[in-house]
Amino acid sequence: MTAGRHALVIGGSLGGLFAASLLRKAGWTTTVFERSAGALASRGAGLGTTRELVETMRRAGARLDISMAVPMSGYVWLDGTGRVVHTQARLNASSTWSRVYLPLREAFPDSDYRAGMALERVTQKGARVTAHFAGGATAEGDLLIAADGNLSTVRRQLMPEVEPRYAGYVAWRGIMEEREVPPAIHRDHFDKIAFSFPEGEMSLAMPVPGHGDDTRPGHRRYYFIWYRPADAAALSDLCTDADGVHHGTSIPPPLIRAAVTRAIKADAAERFAPDLATVIARTAQPLLQAITDLESPRLVMGRVVLLGDAAFVARPHVAAGVSKAALDAACLADALAGESDIDAALARYERERLDFGTRIVAHGRRLGTLLDGKNILRAEWTGDDAYRDPRRVLRDYGAPHLVHDLTAQDLAA
Ligand SMILES: Cc1cc2nc3c(=O)[nH]c(=O)nc-3n(C[C@H](O)[C@H](O)[C@H](O)COP(=O)(O)OP(=O)(O)OC[C@H]3O[C@@H](n4cnc5c(N)ncnc54)[C@H](O)[C@@H]3O)c2cc1C
């Protein structure tokens, strides 16, 4: 029923590779077009994992290895003196982007992965869709899957009004070697996500795989994320280099002004327990990320489908962007498998993934409530204000109502 059907997949990162691999198993021919000419750069050290992610990797034919993730036993909230305020047992695991990307990429044939192909625009005629690339090349198929990330060229062409929305706060991220972690933190908290909540702010520190994605004890790394409110003017200042050049809403780490780095380390010393402040102080090069989210009101436009970050981006508190991309791809493949009516299959995909995307974006916003700069007294809390209570944040961190934490048993299964 699906013989001869061809999907053009724009974007060869995780969403694109999941979609291309799973549609292939559903009987489609798939070709991936990736703008980057070389190997894709890793997207950061700490990656939240889920059972759904591992199951979809297996289904896509990707090699899985029990050492892909660092197991953790739960969450702990530390106050400004390092005292434990609250703990929450919860088995989960952190991994890295490359531990997911490389096995997926290896499982997908090189002959159908076209690197250095930057999509410029899409045209449609009847049930056929054509991708137009920089340099003049074109490709034609029955379906085009836009897995081209949060700044998707395809989405911007078809729905220019939909753009990432700044959340009003930034994340500072940093990483250090396991052997440099202050001994008391290593002894008491290294196997957990350690949260802190300085006034109107939030930080997390956790173990992640080390150099070469090594997950062996002693070879891991310690990773922190510190969320801090910054209005548009403050963000613009943070993204201005020492020569006064404004870089928009992001800045290459080496261009972050030394005075900015000094200031956040000084703030850390005032706001965090001494050992956590040391973790931040020892980070040679903190990274800055403006937190955004994105919601698409539609996912299907004729024979064009949005998937992964091109469709929805939830704030990082849900730690599930990769799992969402995997589930989007699985849903699309399931809807199309053996279905003669492509449009009906796409309508089903849209219905299911709009619902999931809307819910996960809303949850990311809820988890970020206490970063909104408002000082509302507990007695006046209503609705999502409950998330101003760190205990509530710990209870619902990630998206436990939408995906399942990964445990060592899931990997071994
Ligand atoms: C710093 C950081 C930390 C993160 N941490 C986590 C985490 O802990 N847990 C988690 O689950 N997720 C995390 N994410 C999110 C996660 O990386 C994404 O959700 C995931 O990679 C799925 O994205 P995607 O494949 O849809 O898009 P992307 O990974 O953005 O890939 C889009 C691809 O499309 C290509 N492309 C773009 N435009 C074109 C074009 N015109 N033509 C051809 N190709 C194009 C790009 O080169 C890129 O390879 C994090 C992201 C960042 C930036």
Q: Is the pLDDT of residue 188 over 80?
A: yes
Which regions of 35-191 does DSSP assign to beta strands (E)?
47-48, 70-78, 84-95, 113-115, 119-125, 128-133, 138-141, 143-146, 165-177
Distance 42 CA to ligand 1 centre (A): 10
Q: How many angstroms does the Cα of residue 403 sit away from the middle of ligand 1?
A: 19
Q: Is 157 in the pocket of ligand 1 (CB under 6 A)?
A: no
3-state secondary structure of 229: strand
Mean pLDDT in the chain? 94
Residue 52's pLDDT is what? 95
Tell whether the model's pLDDT for residue 1 goes beyond 50. Answer: no
Check if the beta carbon of residue 369 is closer than 8 Å to that of residue 382.
Answer: no
Q: What pLDDT digit, counting tens, does each position of 338-383 carry?
A: 888 999 999 999 999 999 999 999 999 999 999 999 989 999 999 9
Residue count of the chain: 413
Q: Ligand 1: which atom is nearest the Cα of residue 309?
A: 26
Torsion sign, CA atoms 227, 228, 234, 238: negative
Q: Tell me if 36 CB under 6 Å of ligand 1.
A: yes
Sort 164 into a burial class: Cβ within 10 Å, 0-12 / 13-18 / 19+. middle
- 291 dihedral zone (left: phi>0; alpha: psi -120 to 50; beta): beta
Strand pairing class (119-125; 128-133): antiparallel
Does ligand 1 lie within 6 Å of residue 357's CB atom? no
149 lines ligand 1 (CB under 6 A): yes
C-alpha to C-alpha distance for 248 and 168, rounded to whole angstroms: 15
Q: What's the one-letter identity of residue 274?
A: P
321 lines ligand 1 (CB under 6 A): yes
**Residue minimizing CA distance to atom 7 of ligand 1:** 47
Q: Which atom of ligand 1 is nearest to the CA of 287?
A: 1
The mean pLDDT of 127-145, rounded to a whole number, is 98
Nearest CA to ligand 1 atom 23: 309
Atom number in ligand 1 closest to CA 152: 38
Q: Tell me the CA end-to-end span of the chain in Å, nearest whole number.
A: 33
Pair 178, 191: CB distance under 8 Å: no
Task: For residue 13, report the distance from its CA to the centre of ligand 1, in Å.
Answer: 6
- Asked if 147 and 200 count as a contact pair (C-beta separation under 8 A), the reply is no
pLDDT one-digit tens code per residue, 107-118: 999 999 999 999
Q: Apex CA 278: angle with CA 272 and CA 281, to 5°?
A: 100
Atom of ligand 1 nearest to the CA of 33: 43
- Tokens at residue 29, please? 């021919």
User: What is the tens place of the pLDDT at every residue in 284-329?
Assistant: 889 999 999 999 999 999 999 999 999 999 999 999 999 999 999 9
DSSP string, 240-304: B-TTS-B-TT---GGGS-HHHHHHHHHHHHHHS-HHHHHHHHT-SS-EEEEEEEEE-S-SEETTE
Amino acid at 316: P
Ligand 1 atom closest to Cα of 310? 26
Distance CA 271, CA 273 (A): 7
Q: Which atom of ligand 1 is nearest to the CA of 154?
A: 41
Judge if the beta carbon of residue 13 lies within 6 A of ligand 1.
yes
β strands within 309-413, DSSP E: 312-313
DSSP code at position 318 = G
The pairs formed by 265-271 with CB atoms below 8 angstroms and a separation of 24 or more are 268/226, 271/80, 271/196, 271/198, 271/199, 271/201
3-state secondary structure of 389: coil
CA dihedral of 72, 73, 74, 80, whole degrees rounded to 10: -80
Residue 53: in which H helix or E strand, if any? Answer: helix 51-59
Stretch 252-261: mean pLDDT: 96
Reply yes or no on whether the pLDDT at 153 is more than 80.
Answer: yes
DSSP element (H, E) containing 306: strand 304-306
The whole-number pLDDT of residue 55 equals: 95
Q: Is 408 helix (H, G, I), strand (E, B) or coil?
A: helix
pLDDT tens by residue, 212-228: 889 999 999 999 999 99
Spatial distance between the Cα atoms of 251 and 256, rounded to a whole number of angstroms = 7
Nearest CA to ligand 1 atom 13: 321
> What is the Cα–Cα distance from 388 to 396, expressed in whole angstroms?
12
Question: With contact defined as beta carbons under 8 Å apart, do 393 and 340 qualify?
Answer: no
**Per-residue confidence (pLDDT) for residue 3, from 0 to 100:** 56
Q: Is the CB of 43 under 6 A from ligand 1?
A: yes
DSSP secondary structure string for all residues of 91-128: EEEEE-HHHHHHHHHHHS-GGGEEET--EEEEEEETTE
Confidence tier at 194 by pLDDT (50, 70, 90)? very high
- Using CA atoms, how far apart are residues 41 and 250, in angstroms rounded to an integer? 17
Cα(256) to centroid(ligand 1), Å: 23
